[in-house]
């Protein structure tokens, strides 16, 4: 195990982070608590980009913190022990000679996961000693290092498609001495050589479950991934279990956050419409539907599929939903029973219809996903009954595997 001369300094920060997560009710697994205390985050996250530009600014201005530089060290240490996602790589850049200080342009292609999401995912998976673990898209290897600490050396494998990040993560993991391995490759193919796996965790969002992941899941195993749609507003978390005899159970539920989608998957955004919406919110009309609460995750995940092409502007003063490709939007309220709509697509009417169907279906919070269809169709249903909600996941082949 890696030992730093300043371990006392960083151990206090790790302990404070763990206590914060425990007090918030996020961290409950004693094994994971011990792993969080043991894994040196400063080894895995030796630098961090900080965004300087405000929302919507382009190109984006960044500042790179170098953890080895005395002028950056305290800010960097505080940052990597927060709950925030740590930004590490722009546009697939090499990571062995980054220059600290201001930089302009580019998009983040690798980062650590928001810490509570990492904790939640590893607890849902229920890691235990002796389990074979596969991490798909491990990035810098934070969750992979935690998993390896919990399962034991030689059992945790990561598959990372970016050659620079794969090499970077492997060097860091070797310094930690946790016995995890990162392999450069296509995460969508999993890693057949070490299959089957007792636990599979995807750090990337996919619109459709890759067949290789299902094939590589052991009996009694669990797999966790984000199911992504074109909207980043309403992500879904899919938990797949393989029972004795090979029978699969897959349960989808809406979540407040999800992992970034696989490379090449184009999502919608509302930023380009923000100024126009402010200048012309639309024509007011009575609304049958009051703005649903943010935590009505069962409704919002259904809306992501049954009213596709919508995205929410979470920074708007009142609930604002945009259909960017249709130049349409809806601005709710505030609290007066009206909604303002603009464009050829009545966005709010579509949400009203989905909400009515969701209520008639019994307000489902979880959905079953059938991964066993021999034709490759992955269908989603809310449960038995004439009013059930249902849809199919879009085939993976429609998503480019490489950036254009």
For 330-364, the pLDDT digits (tens) are: 999 877 899 999 999 999 999 999 999 999 999 99
Q: How confident is the model at residue 285 (pLDDT cuts 50, 70, 90)?
A: very high
pLDDT of residue 383: 86
CB of 246 closer than 8 Å to CB of 219? yes
Q: How many angstroms separate the CA atoms of 130 and 124, rounded?
A: 17
Average pLDDT score over residue span 237-252: 94
Asked if residues 180 and 156 have their Cβ atoms less than 8 Å apart, the reply is yes
What is the DSSP code string of 164-209?
HHHHHHHHHHHHHT--EEEEES-GGG--GGG--EEEEEEEEEESS-
What is the model's pLDDT at position 263?
76
Residue 374 pLDDT grade (very low, low, confident, very high; cuts 50, 70, 90):
confident
Predicted confidence (pLDDT) at residue 31 exceeds the cutoff of 90: yes
Q: What is the DSSP letter of 261?
A: B
* Poorest-pLDDT segment among 39-43, 78-82, 126-130, 270-274: 270-274
């Amino acid at each position: 195990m890696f030992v730093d001369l300043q371990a006392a300094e960083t151990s206090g920060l790790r302990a404070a982070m763990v206590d914060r997560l425990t007090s918030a009710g996020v961290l409950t697994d004693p094994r994971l608590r011990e792993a969080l205390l043991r894994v040196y985050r400063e080894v895995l996250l030796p630098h961090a980009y900080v965004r300087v530009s405000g929302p919507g600014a382009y190109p984006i201005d960044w500042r790179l913190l170098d953890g080895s530089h005395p002028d950056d060290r305290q800010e960097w240490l505080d940052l990597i022990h927060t709950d925030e996602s740590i930004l590490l790589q722009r546009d697939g850049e090499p990571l062995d000679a980054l220059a600290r200080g201001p930089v302009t342009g580019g998009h983040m292609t690798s980062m650590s996961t928001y810490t509570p999401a990492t904790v939640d995912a590893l607890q849902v998976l229920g890691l235990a000693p002796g389990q074979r673990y596969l991490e798909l898209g491990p990035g810098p290897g934070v969750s992979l290092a935690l998993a390896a600490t919990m399962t034991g050396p030689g059992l945790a494998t990561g598959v990372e498609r970016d050659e620079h990040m794969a090499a970077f993560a492997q060097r860091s993991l070797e310094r930690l001495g946790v016995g995890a391995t990162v392999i450069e490759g296509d995460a969508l193919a999993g890693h057949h050589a070490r299959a089957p796996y007792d636990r599979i965790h995807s750090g990337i969002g996919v619109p459709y479950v890759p067949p290789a992941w299902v094939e590589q899941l052991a009996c009694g195993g669990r797999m966790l991934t984000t199911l992504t749609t074109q909207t980043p507003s309403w992500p879904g978390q899919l938990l797949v279990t393989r029972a004795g005899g090979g029978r699969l159970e897959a349960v989808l539920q809406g979540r407040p956050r999800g992992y970034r989608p696989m490379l090449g998957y184009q999502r919608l955004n509302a930023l380009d419409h923000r100024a126009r919406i402010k200048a012309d919110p639309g024509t007011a009309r009575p609304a049958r539907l009051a703005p649903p609460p943010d935590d009505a995750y069962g409704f919002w995940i259904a809306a992501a599929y049954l009213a596709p092409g919508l995205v929410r502007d979470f920074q708007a003063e009142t609930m604002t939903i945009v259909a960017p490709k249709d130049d349409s939007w809806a601005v709710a309220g505030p609290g007066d029973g009206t909604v303002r709509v603009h464009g050829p697509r009545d966005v709010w009417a579509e949400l009203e219809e989905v909400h009515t169907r969701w209520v008639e279906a019994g307000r489902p919070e979880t959905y079953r996903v059938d991964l066993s269809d021999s034709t490759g169709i992955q269908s989603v249903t809310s449960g038995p009954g004439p009013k059930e909600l249902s849809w199919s996941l879009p085939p993976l082949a429609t998503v480019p595997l490489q950036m254009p």
